[in-house]
Structure 1
């Protein structure tokens, strides 16, 4: 594991290892990588966890998955592991499509605490909300909510209908000179709401891991609040550090 992350889901560990092996030449471009079953056994991971890692790398152009044939190396890893060790940060760089997300809600909504606090707005002030379920091999793997101030949503195009074909990071920076400088996140385990339980098809008494983050630009303004809700049965967070 990278020592740049304070925590990382297990699928990230799989991605980091595959990237390292591709870089070292163990898995050459054009050649297949081990099967989902083999990777699951090696990492002690469930099939949905393995599938998510492979799908993320396919969306980034690093792997090519071919039905009935397997998964092949398409290109050397284009980005370092630390970029994907944080759930909120991974959302910023994801390119959505109809097979990877199920859009639940898009529109103007009143904001409640603690989101209002993160965005520096009064409670019940209007914001733009995008909410979708992340799908990995048709499995509901995460519930993502993005809250943006109305001017940010309007200027960036976050208020468009349907999946975003351009990553959120690019949309937020395309029409401004202000850079995105950091993402602050906090994680907690909790019971899901009724809405979360329904959206993620959770079994009775299944807990969730909720990651709440704020995306801050070079002026110090929080331009986006992100919440990623992860089913406890599908996700395991890991870390390693020096003593």
Structure 2
């Protein structure tokens, strides 16, 4: 049984402040509230506030200027690079993708997806499975899972490619807003069906990027499992040393 561990308070505060930077509440070039103001506004201790600000400074969201205060720098370029895989999965236009829709069906929810969607094991969910190809070779398999009720009033259950992205379709038809994404990267062996679609041999692993798209309350509305042949992937990251 897997248990979710809540992030430390300073991390949660940093995420809240980061969200306010992204939505324009704290525009680039402006001063962020003082430590005293943040302590009072969020009811957290000064050390917690200081750690949250330090985390945002380290990652490039904020900058301290002597004699002036802490200012907002905006969204760091390196963060844009990190977010590409999840954003691409949510905003890809199915009808214009270099590939094909290989499955639209109600299936028992995969165990790794059930906990994120908040549904019991063996519950039927809707899956849309898109195989991406380059030069006729399969390079990615993206399986997007939705609670069955989420498909009501939409074209998600249709077996033809959507014109536009899953995100656009979901937000416009269901009047919801996808607020943030969590990505979980792991390596695993593919199922027989997955290996066949990706043209993988026996025992060849895949890199799984589990993209959990949530509304502002944290409720997951869509989970996409992006599978990439592991031997064709290379991960790179850039970060500051404090």
Per the TM superposition, whether the score is higher than 0.5 is: yes
Task: Quote the offset at 1:236 in angstroms.
Answer: 1.2
Mark the CA change 1:86 to 1:95 in structure 2 (over 3 Å): closer, same or farther: same
Aligned to 2:117: 119
1:83 CA drift (Å): 7.0
- Given candidates 175, 195, 213, the residue that maps to 1:197 is 195
TM-superposed deviation, 1:224: 0.5
**CA distance 1:154–1:104, change in 2 (3 Å):** same
Question: CA contact under 8 A between 2:97 and 2:132: conserved in structure 1?
Answer: no
Aligned to 1:163: 161
* Aligned-residue offset at 1:81: 7.8
What is the TM-score when the length of structure 2 is the normalising length? Answer: 0.62
Distance 1:114 1:205 in 2: 20
Q: Which residue of 1 aligns with 2:87?
A: 89
CA deviations 1:61-85 (Å, max 9, x no partner) are: xxxxxxxxxxxxxxxxxxx982774
* CA-CA distance at 1:204 after TM superposition: 4.1
Alignment root-mean-square deviation, CA: 2.3
Deviation of residue 228 (structure 1)?
A: 0.4
The CA distance in 1 between the partners of 2:178 and 2:122, in whole Å, is 26
CA displacement at 1:98 relative to structure 2:
7.1
Distance 1:96 1:142, change over 3 A: same
Which SS does the other structure have where 1:155 is aligned? Answer: coil
Q: Does 1:218 align with 2:216?
A: yes
Cα distance in 2, alignment partners of residues 126 and 204 from structure 1: 29
Structure 1 residue 122: Cα displacement: 0.8
Unaligned runs of 5+ in 1: 1-79
2:65 is aligned to none
Residues 181 and 211 of structure 2 are in contact (CA less than 8 Å); yes or no, is this contact kept in structure 1?
A: yes
Question: SS of the residue aligned with 1:197?
Answer: helix
Moved more, 134-143 or 80-89: 80-89
Give 1 or 2: higher helix fraction: 2
Quote the offset at 1:185 in angstroms: 1.2
> Which aligned runs of 4 or more in structure 1 are off by greater than 3 angstroms?
83-86
TM-score, normalised by the number of residues in structure 1: 0.62
Counterpart contact for 1:146–1:226, Cα < 8 Å: yes
Who is 1:31 aligned against? none
Unaligned runs of 5+ in 2: 1-77
SS in 1 for 2:232: coil
Q: How much has 1:175 moved relative to structure 2?
A: 2.6
Q: Which has the higher contact order (CA 8 A, sep 6+)?
A: 1
Write out per-residue CA displacement over residues 121-172 of structure 1, whole angstroms, 9 at most, x where no aligned residue. Answer: 1111121111121112222011111110112122332112122221111011
Within-5 A mapping of 1:176-195 = 176-195=174-193
Moved more, 82-91 or 164-173: 82-91
In structure 2, C-alpha distance between the alignment counterparts of 1:106 and 1:176, rounded to whole Å: 19
Cα distance, 1:98–1:241 mapped onto 2, change above 3 Å? closer
CA distance in 1: counterparts of 2:173 and 2:100, whole angstroms: 27
Task: Pick which of 109-118 and 98-107 moved more.
Answer: 98-107
Match of 1:110 among 108, 111, 124: 108
